[in-house]
Amino acid sequence: MQADYVVVGAGSAGCAMAYRLAEAGKSVLVIETGGSDIGPFINMPGALSYPMNMKRYDWGYQTEPEPHLGGRRLVCPRGKVIGGSSSINGMIYVRGHARDFDHWADSGADGWAYADVLPYYKRLEDWHDGGRGGDPDWRGQGGPLHVTRGPGKNPLTQAWIKAGGQAGYELTSDYNGHQQEGFGPFDATIWKGRRWSAASAYLRPAIATGRCEVIKGLATRVVMTNGRATGVELTDGRVIEARAEVILAASALNSPKLLMLSGIGPAAHLAEHGIEVIADRAGVGQNLQDHLELYVQMAGKGRHSLYKYWSLLGKAMVGAQWLFTKSGIGASNQFEACGFIRSRAGIDYPDIQFHFLPLAVRYDGVGASEGFQAHTGPMRSESRGEVTLRSADPQADPRIFFNYMSKESDWVDFRKCIRLTREIFAQEAFAPYRDGELIPGPQAQSDDELDDVIREHVESAYHPCGTCKMGRAGDPAAVVDPMGRVIGVDGLRVADSSIFPRITNGNLNAPSIMVGEKIADHVLGRPPLPPSNDAPWIHPEWQTARR
């Protein structure tokens, strides 16, 4: 089993990488532990809560007890299936703010400023506005990844955007375009009523070239020969050999795990598990980041929410309509409106994101009721965690410790998120629909009362990143250089959300795919796409005004 390139992980970045390498005439073997992504639970957008809660498709990871959340263990779904987490996620497409990438470049990821990454976003997109406005000059056409918008016709969805304007915030027709800040329609990786995962966009076209093949198996380590990566060993003893390079795209949880199992990581930690040190890189597994969110839920008047479809008969009807026509409620992820705002004056770009859902329900589908909710949380928490080895057994889950809410600023920011969400729900646009607050509940008003709610109810937004930080070769905390090359060894790169120096604004699927696209050019030795001169919108009074 031999190819020019061996890619570990058929997820968002790995699929993009495989396609661009195969398209360039290279032979590629992709190692993936999970099975097929064919089936209604994955491909029906409205069924999104199912695959991430199914052992068949999810690694089933949990965090360690989180000390600042009362010792709770939070679920941490990661896709164990063709397409990786792009096959089980909420299909929301957010590039991130321009300032996120400028921060990357300023922190040592040279060549990853917004001007550098915007051309890659345009290359990967096939954007469709769905008649809901947009910013076509900032978007891509003809790329592999279809990006669409739901119809946005639910009156609650429309009320959300109106309420944002009534509360004094900006409205934006395209948060992925010139202006992220404001309230407007959400983008989604859905095409013709089906989930459009990285497998659909990239992996199947890669296989169709005849130069890419998927190998089912679990990687145990990168095979190193004289300081160079030459292949990947699987649990069944097979060695998949790479003539040119090995590329890890196994997620922010499994890429650092595989590096450490291969002897690349903090030397003392590797020694604890009897692993020979190939390269002492203190940053492997460190710098773990995520977005936490709280579902601020309101009870609803009338039957405007999706709850009317929640009965067994209702779900059967929605499923049947989707199965036969790929239309109706099941053809949308139902996250059709959003908001990005600044929590206070003096912050130059949004630090709070809202996902609006016209139903009151947990992400795992439990506790549905007549109502609506906004998922909200800070975008740039100062808390940092780590991924470490539980043992040297490659089949053991990694030890995942986010250290959520470990900074006082996180509590201040989260209380602000809740109070600002309440203010939005109190606007006139929601007057015909609101019927009392469910979570946090009207009794939770003081800082201490809100902190208790946060401690009990916050959940991960499933955006882990940062554990193989990208930076300059002289940075002791960096794991890869700006071309994705693992510092201290040859022939080995990482290309997934683990290389993010800092978490981006919003959901991470889009920047993960962009990483796969951009690093593919570095692998192929191509000059980067010419930088863009487009300047993003920044609130002209950001220094003195919050809205």
Segment 431-455, tens digit of pLDDT: 999 999 999 999 999 999 999 999 9
Q: Is the pLDDT of residue 247 over 80?
A: yes
For residue 351, pLDDT over 90 is answered with yes
Number of H helices, E strands in the chain: 13, 24
Query: Model confidence at 132, in pLDDT bands (50, 70, 90)?
Result: confident
Distance separating alpha carbons of residues 362 and 439, to the nearest angstrom? 11
- Label residue 76 by pLDDT band (50, 70, 90): very high
Q: Give 541's contacts (C-beta < 8 A, 6+ positions apart).
A: none
Of 126-135, 250-259, 265-274, the poorest mean pLDDT is in: 126-135
Quick one: pLDDT at residue 155? 98
For residue 429, name the pLDDT band (cuts at 50, 70, 90).
Answer: very high
Burial 465-486 (b: 16+ CB within 10 A, else e): bbbbbbbeeebeebbbbbbbbb
CB burial of residue 128 (10 Å; 0-12, 13-18, 19+): middle
Per-residue pLDDT of 2-54, as tens digits, reads 999 999 999 999 999 999 999 999 999 999 999 999 999 999 999 998 998 89
* Residue 196 pLDDT: 98
This prediction's pTM: 0.98
We find that the CATH architecture of domain 1-148+188-289+384-394+462-531 is 3-Layer(bba) Sandwich (3.50)
Range 305-317 average pLDDT? 94
Predicted confidence band of residue 362 (pLDDT cuts 50, 70, 90): confident
State the pLDDT at residue 131.
82
pLDDT at residue 302 above 80? yes
Residues 98 and 79: their CA atoms lie apart, in Å, by 28
CA atoms of 151 and 45, how far apart (whole Å):
14
Confidence of residue 115 (pLDDT cuts 50, 70, 90): very high
Sketch the domain layout of the chain as residue ranges: 1-148+188-289+384-394+462-531, 151-185+292-378+406-457
pLDDT tens for each residue of 471-485: 999 999 999 999 999
pLDDT above 80 (res 365): no
- In angstroms, the CA 55 to CA 44 distance is 18
Residue 355: active-site member:
no
For residue 364, pLDDT over 80 is answered with no
Mean pLDDT of 514-541: 96
Alpha carbons 34 and 55: distance in angstroms, whole number? 10
For residue 6, say whether it is annotated as part of any ligand binding site: no
pLDDT band of 367, cuts 50, 70, 90: confident
332: burial class by Cβ within 10 Å (0-12, 13-18, 19+)?
Answer: buried
- Written as six digits, the tokens of 496 are 């997934």
- pLDDT > 90 fraction of the chain, expressed in percent and rounded: 97
Which residue among the candidates 103, 146, 355, 463 is catalytic per the annotation?
Answer: 463
* Predicted confidence (pLDDT) at residue 366 exceeds the cutoff of 80: no
Decide if pLDDT at 343 tops 90. Answer: yes
Do 265 and 478 contact (CB within 8 A), yes or no? no
Give the Cα-Cα-Cα angle 67, 71, 77 (nearest 5 degrees): 100
Angle value at C-alpha 365, between 359 and 368, nearest 5 degrees: 45
Average pLDDT value for residue range 190-206: 98
Q: Coil, strand or helix: which one is 372?
A: strand
| Angle 405-410-414 from CA coordinates, rounded to 5° | 110
Name which of 198, 199, 245, 250 is nearest 514 in CA terms: 198
Q: What beta strand segments (E) does 130-289 contain?
A: 145-147, 182-185, 190-191, 194-195, 212-216, 219-225, 228-234, 239-248, 264-265, 279-280
Residue 320 has pLDDT above 90, yes or no: yes
What are the tokens at 210? 């005849």
Q: What gap in Å lies between CA 57 and CA 505, rounded to an integer?
A: 26
Q: Is the peptide bond before 527 cis (omega within 30 degrees of 0)?
A: no
Long-range contacts of 319-323 (CB under 8 A, 24+ apart): 319/40, 319/44, 319/47, 322/40, 322/44, 322/46, 322/193, 323/40, 323/44
DSSP 204: H
Q: Residue 517 contacts by C-beta under 8 Å, 6 or more apart in sequence? A: 16, 20, 120, 123, 124
Instruction: Pick the closest to residue 354 from 329, 381, 383, 379 (CA basis).
Output: 379
pLDDT computed for residue 233 by the predictor:
98
Which helix (H) or strand (E) covers residue 354, if one does?
A: strand 352-357
pLDDT at residue 133, as a whole number: 85
Average pLDDT in the chain:
97
CATH of domain 151-185+292-378+406-457: 3.30.410.40
Tokens 């990239």 correspond to 202
User: Sorting pLDDT into bands at 50, 70 and 90, what band is 130?
Assistant: confident
Report whether pLDDT(80) > 80. Answer: yes
